[in-house]
Every structure is written in C-alpha cells, then in structure tokens.
Chains A and B, each alone.
Chain A
C-alpha cells in the first residue's frame, strides 16, 4: 500500500462528505482562503496528490485538530496531513522551517547515537533529583530552547525548574535523564519519520534503564508523543505517562501546598496536544483552582473549542500565525484576566512573542505564563519562584 493509500485509510478520509465544515472552522482558512482542508481531502481522493504536494499547502495546516470537532464523518485531518507530509518529503518538499531550521538541526543532532549531552546544567542545589526515583521527569527541549527565545522574554527553563520545585514540595524527588533526546514530536509531524524513530528508540532505551513507573512531563507535545505515538510506533514504554497537570491533580487531594495569595484573574489556554488530542481539560483547571486568591475565567474559545497558539513544529510562523496569536491575546484580554496561563512551553513562547510584537496593537497588557511557574509562585515555602526576569510576573500578595 502506498503512503497515500495508507493516509486515506488510517485517517478515514474516504468517509469525507465534502460538507466543508472543516474549512469553515479552520483558523488558517480564515486568514488564507487558498488553504482548505476540504479541498485537500478532495484533491487526494481524486488522485491529484502531486498537485497538492507542489502547492505547498500541506505545510499550512497547524495540525490543531479543530476541524475534527466539526467533522461528522470523523475524518482525522491532522493525521491525514501528517502522513501525506511523509510522501511530500520524499518528493523533496520539506516545509518551511522558521528560525532557519535551527530547531530541526537540534533535533537531528539529538538523533545521533554518539551523543554525550551536557543537558542538565540548569539543575541547581535547590532542586532535588534522584536517579532511582519512582517518578521520572522528562525535561524535553527546554534547555535547548531557552537560549533561543530570551529575546521574546520566554525562558522555557523556568517552567522546567519550577516543575521540579513543585514536585519537590510534594515530596517527589524525580529522576532526570542526562542523555534524554528530543521526543521527536516535530520530526513526526513534519513527515521525518526516520529521525522520529531514531529519537524514540534512544528515549525508549533511556527510560527503560530507570526505576521509574511514572513519567511526568510539563510539555503536552512530549506527553502526547510518549503516551500515544511511542506505543504506536516502537512499543510500550513500561511507564505510565502523565502531564504535570494530571500528576498534580492526583496529588493535591490533601492540604494545598499553595498558600501565597495570588490576587489575580487568570484564564487558561488549552494546548492542542493536551486538550483536543488527549482530553486533558479539567486537570489544569483543578490545579489552578487550588491557588488561594486566583480567580479563573474562561475564554469564549476554550476546552474543545480552544484556538491553537498559531504555530506547530516551528513550521508555519507567518502573518496567519501572528494574527491567530494576536486574536488569542485579545480574547484573553476581554475576559478581564491579568494572566494567560498555558501548560505548554511552546504555546508560551509563541504567545509571548506575539504579545511583545503587538503589545500596542489593541492587545491588553497581560502576562503569559506557564502553569508550573504560576504554581511555583504560590508555594508555601519561603523559596521564591524561579523566574529569570527583573520583575515578578504576577501581582503576588502577601504570603
């Protein structure tokens, strides 16, 4: 079976009725009418794959899955696109790489078997980890993304350190991997299956060498990739995979460790891979509701209807992406929130980038922050949250 036949079969594209509901809801189509998921399906079903590949349209899709919410035929359009990208790659079409391809190079370097990384330099004496721990914290790409996005005010390592601080506060000293690789999410979604498989196999080996029974990550892309894609492609990891929000929601049943009064109104941005792709909607909200003084309000597009942060796999950052991000920030602003909380380091980077560029463009000045950093700011201990900037991100009340 060809890659294209397989894509049609696995995504159930043959059920497409041509109703166009996907196109009507697609955030890319709203900004770039030349891209239509309905037409993409039609082209492929009519055997016009070459035209489609040459048009470059396959790389416009955010793989956000919003269209799937409307499709009555249950067509898995993101999967369809992802599988067709494998075919496009074979024709030499590799998609646009924002940041000049730097992030793609980083993940391909990590696919090398001969790597001896020095990726735990961010650990400091205040953060407690243990090699034989029952809980493994999968760090993800934050040590590599951190140097790249300081100019937009994003510090992904803050979220990583703060995740560990919270785990420590709950009495968990997680293991971390010195030679962990990129989870391969971006390679997989950009049609680079070969490198995805290499990365996955390295990680599988590393994870199996630990004593952990639970793997926790603060990144929804790592979460979905490890939990769903690894078993699908290379086999069982032998650990239960949880996003930090899920792990915390199971551990916060007793007394809340959060005592600092955060007098703020927050709204939660559901990351696509955590929300629509994994049905994790309640846990981050449950955890946020445990912070004294924090008021949670919802955006019009939340949970299943949440808008994407505008970019995926660093592939399509352009005018449409920026417009989606600015609209998201406006929407957050209209709720009256001071803080836009997300639970994905990449959403944080993309939304921070937009809030910086467009802060004067009718967007209310609101703080974009990762869930873990917000939570760490509310911990009972005297330790201050790990936030690499001059000012505190939040109007922290008196403990």
Chain B
C-alpha cells in the first residue's frame, strides 16, 4: 500500500453498520484499502482514549460508523457518541490535529453502497487535509525501539 493512501481507523458497530459492511461484501462493493475496520458491540462505547490512541499511533483519520438514527441496538449510543466526539474534537484541535480527521457516519442497515460511499468521501477529504505528521513521530519511535506499549 502506498504511503500516500490515507490510513483510517474505523470503529464499526456490530449491528446496523456491520450489516451494511456485510452487504458491501456480498455485493462486491469496494472501499478504500487504507481503512482498518474494528468491529465493536456498540460504537457508543468508543471512548476518547480510543480515538486519541489511533491518532497517536499515526492514523490519518478516525471514523465512527454507527447505526442509523434511532436504530441503536442499545438505545443510548447517539448521546454517548455525541459527547465523546465533542470532547475528542476539542482535545485534538488543541493539539493541532485537524478536526476534519474525525468523522462519525450513521449507516442505514444493510446499505453497502452507502457505507462504501461514506468511507470514500472521508478518505477523499483526508487527501485534502494531507498526511498526519504524527505518523512520522511514531515511525521514528519504533525505529529507535523506544515504544514498548
């Protein structure tokens, strides 16, 4: 994979959003290769730490792929994600990380096309923002053997 391909950590909800990913797979709908999908029981439980850690480790962008409005399997994810995102945005902006690098998309159940489009849109916008400079730091750390965790 080219270094120019944006690296995205995408937390994806096991229910609605993952059904869309399944549909994309069955329908052979492609999405960008730089995306690492992490399947979780509920994206509402992604905390600020998981977002920051992805950036710290050099992700160009972080996505929360959650269920469509009103479709949360556990009812509460929308509120939780909203406050997590607000807090994370404030922190990353202070650190000089462009807030456009963090995006939440609510995905309709089993809509593979929409999921793929959402990821492509995000990756295109990351090309405009440019590569994360933090990645260079992490690479240097690893090269010097400085990172143990």
A113 nearest in chain B by CB position: B137
On chain B, the residues within 8 Å of A105 by CB distance are 49, 52-53, 55-56
On chain A, the residues within 8 Å of B70 by CB distance are none
Main secondary structure of the interface of A (DSSP, over half): helix
**B27 close to A (CB within 8 Å):** no
Shortest A97–chain B CB gap in Å is 8
**A254 close to B (CB within 8 Å):** no
Q: Are A116 and B96 in contact (CB under 8 A)?
A: yes
When A94-B148, A94-B149, A147-B90 are in contact, do A111 and B137 touch as well, CB less than 8 Å? yes
On chain B, the residues within 8 Å of A143 by CB distance are 94
Q: Are B91 and A106 in contact (CB under 8 A)?
A: yes
Q: Are A92 and B48 in contact (CB under 8 A)?
A: no
**Number of interface residues, chain A, beta carbon within 8 A:** 30
Q: Are A118 and B93 in contact (CB under 8 A)?
A: yes
A122 nearest in chain B by CB position: B94
Q: Are A118 and B96 in contact (CB under 8 A)?
A: yes
Q: A111 CA to B47 CA in the complex, in Å?
A: 22
On chain B, the residues within 8 Å of A128 by CB distance are none
What is the 8 Å Cβ interface bit string for chain B, positions 65-99, against chain A (1 contact, 0 not)? 00000000000000000000011001101111100
Which A residues between 54 and 111 are near B, CB-CB below 8 angstroms?
A: 89-90, 92, 94, 97, 99-102, 105-106, 108-111
Shortest B95–chain A CB gap in Å is 5
Q: Are B48 and A100 in contact (CB under 8 A)?
A: yes
Q: Are A114 and B53 in contact (CB under 8 A)?
A: no
On chain A, the residues within 8 Å of B134 by CB distance are 109, 112, 114-115
Q: A89 CA to B147 CA in the complex, in Å?
A: 10
B residues bordering A, Cβ < 8 Å? 47-50, 52-53, 55-56, 86-87, 90-91, 93-97, 133-134, 136-137, 141, 144, 146-149
Q: Closest 5 CB pairs between A and B?
A: A100-B49, A114-B133, A102-B49, A112-B137, A105-B52
* 5 extra A-B contacts, CB within 8 A, seeds A148-B91, A194-B144: A90-B148, A92-B148, A105-B53, A109-B55, A143-B94
